[in-house]
């Protein structure tokens, strides 16, 4: 690795070494060659083009799909003393003129632009007059039809190598699948680029999935116990549920804001802004929320409803813990979620091929939910990545699932579907098994069925669990009206040729689990450390408010943690803390050291 690159890393960014293949990417681009970088969220993609931008001289042009993302990056870079700006549609004419002037004067190290602007004639004229260090194409998966973030303007970027053959290009994305990768390479003319693929494991995210009983209450218990003041995201399927959940959390004393496509654009923007700039805000959102959120200190992502695919689950949970500190991906799901999603699929009018694909995706998601061994192994396995050992850092590794022989119960449950002619939903089926004489069982004559009352040995919760697992494992289908139907797979089980092991459900973690989790799973600052931590956070908040930037742009939590741990006393000690480069040392050093020395005096 060149000394010049390391010097920039240390002096400007305040980091002592490159992570993973960052150094190799930097060398590749610095030497004028192209690269494609696939790294998970939080992996450290930005440095891969920011360091060579400074190394090569001239201005690096960064293509980014969203204004929020551009502003976030520009804020952070300026905090490092790097000359960065952006050009986008939300700026006034004058602001744009100023940026263009700076660009022509050679006053910018990095310029962020939207793809559609980059290829306008006026922009091309400007670019012809400056020295371009490199082109970075961020969120490069936007060029692909396959994912859900397709942006037609990205297709224009294929013209770049023709117009600027001498300028190296680097494309970056956190989307892992081979199909998207292939599209990026072909559509962006990157076939000669070196490809860097990182592991998609997010080692700091703790995965946890339990059964839903009273979802909102379970959520609140989780937050109270583990994330009392943290900010995070709660995902729900419908707008109505988003509203209700946000309200409920507010009543419980949390700062929770709704976010969905039905809100007025102003309100949506305001809520997003508060989430990013204030501390401890919880955003309750439909899946419309996420792209364009680079907030590094999201400490949890909670799902109150089941995502439709592992891709969606991975992407949504991936928004937690970008800063590398411990974060939780928490989810509850239940029978109702499965019935609803399967019923929607049964009603779908999409092509057969499409429906089959959606069915497969949901089944894979359900398999992850009903897993009895390490979640991370199966999650990564889905993306064709092998993890040699169980991770030791997910709910199932800390507290293995227990199973019971459900063969007899499953047979009863299946024959009950058969006897009632495959036309009823779960509640009614359970009523029959439990022998409930109510209006509905009488009306259909189900109190005379041979299966009436044969399930009195188990209670309602267990029967619902049996049906859920039969559904999730594909023994039973749901029709468009929500009734359960048998399918081929259940035949051997019904005939007694096969047995089945079922999971015992878990709603709340056990005491033992909580003990173990406390050791490994959280950002914990306690006792006297916490006093200092709070003081530093207050200083950071004030500095951020003065400049109208998010608190994490001043210094992130990781840096604060190191300050608490190492307690630097001099500028030179401070400069060794991760994330403190020369610029931050100069502008924030004195204030940080003041808090640290005052604290020593006060606690002496
Ligand atoms: P991505 O864009 O891949 O999601 P970022 O570029 O935002 O990730 O980086 C995630 C976090 O990791 C940031 O806080 C960043 O400052 C930090 N980081 C990146 N590279 C390094 C490094 N070499 N050493 C220490 N921290 C790093
Ligand atoms: Zn595990």
User: Which two tokens mark 578?
Assistant: 């991760």
What is the pLDDT confidence band of residue 512, given thresholds at 50, 70 and 90?
confident
Ligand 1 within 6 A of CB of 204: no
Q: Is the pLDDT of residue 70 over 70?
A: yes
| Average pLDDT of the segment spanning 476-483 | 93
CB of 227 closer than 8 Å to CB of 350: no
**Ligand minimally distant from the alpha carbon of residue 559:** 1
Chain Cα centroid distance, residue 420? 43
Structure confidence at residue 177 as a pLDDT band (50, 70, 90): confident
379 Cα–ligand 2 center, Å: 10
Least confident of 172-181, 217-226, 366-375, 554-563: 172-181
- Quote the CA–CA distance of 68 and 142 in Å, as a whole number: 16
Sign of CA dihedral 145, 147, 149, 155: negative
Output 1 or 525, whichever has higher pLDDT.
525
Gyration radius of the chain's alpha carbons: 27
> Using CA atoms in the order 319, 324, 325, 328, what is the torsion angle rounded to 10 degrees?
30
* Contact 202 CB / ligand 1 (< 6 Å): no
Locus of tokens 């400049």 = 547
Q: Is residue 474 scored above 70 in pLDDT? A: yes
Proportion of the chain above pLDDT 90, given as a percent: 81
Nearest CA-CA partner of 292 in 139, 451, 132, 113? 139
pLDDT at 127: 95
Region 265-269 average pLDDT: 91
Ligand nearest to the CA of 372: 2
pLDDT number for residue 520: 66
Tell me which of 6, 47, 321 to substitute to probe ligand 1's pocket, judged by most ligand atoms within 8 Å of the beta carbon: 47
Comparing 46-50, 425-429, 546-550, which segment has the lowest mean pLDDT? 546-550
pTM of the model: 0.90
**Which are the contacts of 68, defined by CB distance < 8 A and separation ≥ 6?**
272, 292, 293, 294
- Residue 176's pLDDT is 67
Compute the distance between CA of residue 428 and CA of residue 417 in angstroms, rounded to an integer: 10
Mean of the per-residue pLDDT values for the chain?
A: 93
Residue 287 has a pLDDT of 78
pLDDT one-digit tens code per residue, 110-162: 999 999 999 899 999 999 999 999 999 999 999 987 766 789 999 999 999 99
Sign of the alpha-carbon dihedral angle for 217, 222, 223, 224: positive
Find out whether the beta carbon of 286 lies less than 6 Å from any atom of ligand 1: no
Pairing verdict, β 476-478 and 484-486: antiparallel
CA angle 394, 17, 520 (to 5 degrees): 20
In whole angstroms, what is the distance from residue 73 CA to residue 67 CA?
Answer: 10
- Tell which atom from ligand 1 comes closest to the C-alpha of 19: 23
Element of type H or E holding 301: strand 300-303
With a cut of 90, say whether residue 380 has pLDDT above it: yes
The ligand placed nearest to the CA atom of residue 64 is 1
Query: Ligand 1 in contact with 44 (CB < 6 A)?
Result: yes
User: Is the CB of 428 within 6 Å of ligand 1?
Assistant: no
298 close to ligand 1 (CB < 6 Angstrom) = no
Residue 444's φ and ψ, nearest 5 degrees, are -90, 5
Q: How far is the CA of 208 from the centre of ligand 2 (A)?
A: 10
Decide: 45 in ligand 1 pocket, CB within 6 A: yes
The structure tokens listed for 310 are: 């592992």
Q: Which residue, by CA, sits nearest to atom 14 of ligand 1?
A: 323
The secondary structure of residue 268, as a DSSP letter, is H
Instruction: Tell me the DSSP string of 2-49.
Output: -HHHHHHIIIII--SS--TTHHHHHHHHHTT--EEEE--TTS-HHHHH
Which residue's CA is minimally distant from atom 19 of ligand 1?
A: 44
Where does residue 52 fall: left (phi above 0), alpha (psi -120 to 50 degrees), or beta otherwise?
A: alpha
Q: What is the pLDDT of residue 521?
A: 62
* Nearest ligand for residue 136 CA: 1
Question: Above 90 in pLDDT, residue 507?
Answer: no
């Amino acid at each position: 690795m060149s000394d010049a690159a390391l010097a920039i890393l240390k002096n400007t960014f305040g980091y002592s070494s490159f992570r993973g293949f960052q150094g190799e990417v930097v060398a590749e681009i610095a030497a004028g060659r192209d690269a494609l970088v696939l790294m998970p969220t939080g992996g450290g993609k930005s440095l891969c083009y920011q360091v060579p931008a400074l190394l090569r001289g001239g201005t690096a042009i960064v293509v980014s799909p969203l204004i929020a993302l551009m502003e976030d990056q520009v804020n952070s870079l300026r905090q490092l003393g790097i000359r960065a700006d952006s050009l986008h549609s939300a700026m006034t004419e004058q602001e744009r003129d100023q940026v263009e002037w700076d660009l022509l004067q050679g006053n910018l190290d990095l310029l962020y632009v939207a793809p559609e602007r980059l290829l306008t004639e006026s922009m091309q004229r400007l670019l012809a007059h400056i020295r371009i260090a490199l082109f970075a194409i961020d969120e490069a998966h936007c060029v692909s039809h396959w994912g859900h973030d397709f942006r037609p303007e990205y297709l224009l970027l294929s013209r770049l190598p023709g117009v600027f053959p001498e300028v190296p290009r680097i494309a970056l994305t956190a989307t892992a699948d081979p199909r998207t990768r292939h599209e990026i390479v072909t559509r962006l003319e990157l076939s000669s680029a070196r490809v860097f693929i990182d592991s998609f494991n997010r080692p700091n995210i703790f995965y946890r999935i339990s059964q839903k009983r009273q979802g909102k209450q379970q959520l609140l218990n989780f937050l109270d116990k583990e994330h009392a003041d943290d900010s995070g995201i709660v995902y729900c399927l419908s707008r109505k549920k988003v509203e209700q959940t946000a309200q409920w959390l507010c009543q419980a004393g949390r700062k929770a804001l709704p976010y969905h496509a039905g809100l007025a654009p102003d309100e949506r923007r305001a809520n997003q802004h508060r989430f990013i700039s204030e501390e401890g805000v919880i955003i309750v959102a439909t899946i419309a929320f996420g792209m364009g959120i680079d907030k590094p200190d999201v400490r949890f992502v909670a799902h109150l409803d089941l995502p439709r695919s592992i891709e969606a689950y991975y992407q949504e949970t991936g928004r937690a813990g970008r800063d590398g500190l411990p974060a939780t991906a928490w989810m509850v799901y239940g029978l109702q979620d499965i019935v609803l999603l399967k019923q929607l699929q049964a009603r779908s009018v999409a092509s057969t091929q499409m429906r089959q694909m959606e069915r497969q995706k949901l089944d894979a998601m359900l398999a992850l939910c009903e897993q009895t061994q390490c979640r991370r192994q199966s999650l990564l396995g889905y993306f064709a990545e092998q993890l040699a050992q169980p991770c030791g850092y997910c709910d199932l590794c800390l507290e293995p699932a227990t199973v019971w022989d459900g063969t007899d119960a499953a047979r009863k449950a299946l024959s009950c579907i058969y006897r009632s002619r495959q036309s009823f939903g779960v509640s009614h089926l359970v009523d029959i098994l439990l022998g409930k004489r109510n209006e509905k069982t009488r009306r259909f004559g189900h109190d005379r069925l041979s299966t009436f009352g044969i399930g009195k040995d188990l209670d309602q919760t267990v029967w619902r669990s049996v049906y859920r697992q039969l559904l999730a494992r594909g023994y039973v289908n749901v029709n468009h009206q929500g009734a359960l139907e048998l399918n081929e797979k259940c035949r051997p089980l019904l005939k007694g040729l096969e047995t089945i092991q079922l999971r015992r459900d878990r709603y709340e973690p056990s005491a033992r689990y909580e003990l173990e989790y406390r050791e490994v799973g959280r950002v914990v600052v306690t006792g006297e450390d916490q006093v200092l931590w709070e003081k530093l956070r207050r200083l950071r908040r004030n500095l951020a408010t003065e400049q109208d930037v998010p608190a994490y742009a001043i210094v992130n939590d990781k840096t604060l943690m190191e300050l608490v741990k190492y307690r630097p006393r001099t500028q030179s000690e401070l400069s060794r803390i991760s994330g403190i480069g020369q610029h931050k040392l100069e502008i924030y050093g004195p204030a940080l050291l003041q808090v640290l020395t005052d604290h020593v005096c006060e606690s002496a």
